[in-house]
A and B are shown apart, each in its own frame.
Chain A
Amino acid sequence: MRTARKLTASAALAVTSAGLLAAPAAAANAAPVGGLEVSPSTVTPGTTVTVRTTACGADGSATGDASAVGAGTFALAPGKRPEAASGRFEVPPSAQPGTYEIVARCAGSGPDDGKQVAGDLSVTLTSTASAREEQPVPVPVHPRGHVKTGVGGALGPDPVKTAAGVAVLAVAAAGGTWLLHRRARGDRI
């Protein structure tokens, strides 16, 4: 939990500083201010994430940087939607939970060349991620080996059923004895 908070704090700081740097540049270019849209913004490790930005202008491409989460760099190409560049990267299966800053730097010869935009990506393990983080030793993503889910109790004799059976047979024996006794007495049955 503490690690995650630290990551969140540092990422937030990075976003703030990136925003401070990017804002004057955008204003100077009189271009629409666009951040980096990260979708989905909350993911589990191993998920593919799509990022999109309108900050690089028409037909603008960009280079994305997801090294904060361990995914390296990736390309953002002009998409179908005008003035938007998009790209994809995969969050490594080994990614730790926390909030990471994803950065994209516009490329090309236009006025937006070199402009940098950023967006946040949250990595969670599951809805119970917090419970897992409290464990001192990191646990593997999935269990190993077989599961010990039986002792063989279904295989042995069932003492309750056997005892009930014996009791019921005793009743039968008593009834049988009585009937035989009656017959011996000469009663017609």
Chain B
Amino acid sequence: MRRTHRTQRRGRFGTSVIATVTALALSSGAWLVYEGTATRPPPQPSASQAAAPGHGRAGLTAAAPLPPSPPDRIRIPAIDVDAPLMGLGLTHQGSLDVPPSRHKNLAGWYEAGTTPGERGTAIVAGHVDNAEGPAVFYRLGGLAKGRVIEVERRDGGVALFTVDAVEVYDAKGFPDEKVYGAAARPELRVITCGGAYSKETGYQGNVVVFAHLTGAR
């Protein structure tokens, strides 16, 4: 087999390109298959994120209530949430309805209740996942105390809430009053599915983030 220098050089170059591509394909393919077949539950809050004794007040004092205005968007920079909000009603059982699950980046707020920023308890809910995979509040259980939740309001303002606690509650004996009950200051609850998971019943509870208004802009 006789070759000129030029073809030899070209052959060497082609070989090293193919070797590189092969190595890259091997590692990225292995990573993709590993990620694709892994079964990992969404993050759940640790005990240290529960409400502190003494009513769970964070260091920041509450801000003055804002006038009522419907919210348009929720942002939680710490867990990369930036999603539009739709109005939610109640189901026939009296539980909070949820946004359509096919939209993975969509959350909702209970529009017959308090608007976020107003005095009282405003409620926001969104999916942790849908049939395709993780959804808007997939990482909610990993949120920590002291983090900021921003709610964009239709009046052009942004209500800033600070996280007081992140809890997980079982569907059985759900603490309705604690989660949905009236508050003397402007508060926010952000709810998604959480707790143990079983194929028959799905997620067995909810992750609930408790926050209160600490500012506005």
Tell me the complex Cα distance, A103–B170, Å: 48
Q: How large is the interface on A (under 10, 10 to 19, 20 to 34, 35 or more residues)?
A: 35 or more
> Known: A140-B94, A150-B203. Contact between A164 and B36, CB under 8 A?
yes
Q: Looking at the assembled complex, report how far the CB atom of B214 sits from the nearest CB atom of chain A, in whole angstroms.
A: 22
With beta carbons under 8 angstroms apart, the residue of A132, A144, A154, A186 that contacts B112 is A132
Answer yes or no: B120 CB below 8 A from chain A CBs.
yes
Measured between C-beta atoms, what is the minimum distance from A135 to chain B in Å? 8
Indicate if the CB atoms of B42 and A154 lie closer than 8 Å: yes
Main SS of chain B's interface residues? Answer: mixed
Q: Is the interface of A mostly helix, strand, loop or mixed?
A: loop
Q: In the bound complex, how far is the Cα of B114 from the Cα of A142, in angstroms?
A: 10
When distances are taken between beta carbons in the complex, the residues of chain B under 8 Å from A128 are: 70, 87, 111-112
Chain B residue contacts of A175, Cβ below 8 A: 18-19, 21-22, 25
Q: What residue in chain B is nearest A148 (Cβ atoms)?
A: B98
Contact with A along B119-137 (1 / 0, CB 8 A): 0110101111111111101
Report the Cα distance A1→B171, complex, angstroms.
35
Residue from A141, A143, A179 with most neighbouring chain B CB atoms (10 Å) = A143
* Contact of B40 with A by CB under 8 A: yes
Cα–Cα distance between A179 and B209 once the two chains are bound (Å)? 55
Kindly identify, within residues 1 to 45 of chain B, every residue whose CB is under 8 Å from any CB belonging to chain A: 1, 11-12, 15, 18-19, 21-23, 25-26, 28-42
Q: Within 8 Å of chain B (Cβ to Cβ): is A4? A: no
Contact of A160 among B36, B111, B135, B181 (CB under 8 A): B36
Given A131-B111, A149-B192, A165-B32: A157 and B25 within 8 A (CB)?
no
Q: How far is the CB of B83 from the nearest CB of chain A, in Å?
A: 13
Evaluate contact between A147 and B206: CB separation under 8 angstroms.
yes
Cross-chain contact A148 with B115 (CB below 8 angstroms)? no
Kindly list chain A residues whose C-beta atoms are within 8 Å of the C-beta of B34: 165
B105 to chain A, nearest CB (A): 14
The residues of A that contact B90 with a CB separation of less than 8 Å are 139-140, 143
Does the CB pair A149–B36 fall under 8 Å? no
Checking A142, A165, A186 against B33 with a beta-carbon cut-off of 8 angstroms, the contacting residue is A165
Q: How far is the CB of A84 from chain B (nearest CB, A)?
A: 25
Q: Check A146/B125 contact, CB under 8 A, given A159-B36, A189-B15.
A: no
| 0/1 string, A145-182, CB within 8 A of B gives 1 | 11111111111111111111111111110011011001
Interface of B toward A, CB cutoff 8 Å: 1, 11-12, 15, 18-19, 21-23, 25-26, 28-42, 68-70, 87, 89-90, 93-96, 98, 101, 110-115, 120-121, 123, 125-135, 137-138, 169, 171, 174, 176, 180-182, 191-194, 197, 199, 202-203, 205-206
- A144-B93, A153-B134, A165-B36 known; 11 new pairs, CB 8 Å cut-off, are A126-B114, A142-B110, A142-B182, A146-B171, A155-B129, A157-B38, A158-B37, A165-B29, A175-B19, A179-B18, A186-B1
Q: List 24 A-B contacts (CB under 8 A).
A: A126-B114, A128-B70, A128-B111, A132-B112, A139-B90, A143-B94, A146-B95, A149-B128, A149-B203, A150-B129, A151-B101, A151-B129, A153-B129, A154-B129, A155-B40, A155-B197, A156-B39, A158-B37, A161-B35, A168-B29, A168-B32, A169-B30, A171-B21, A187-B11
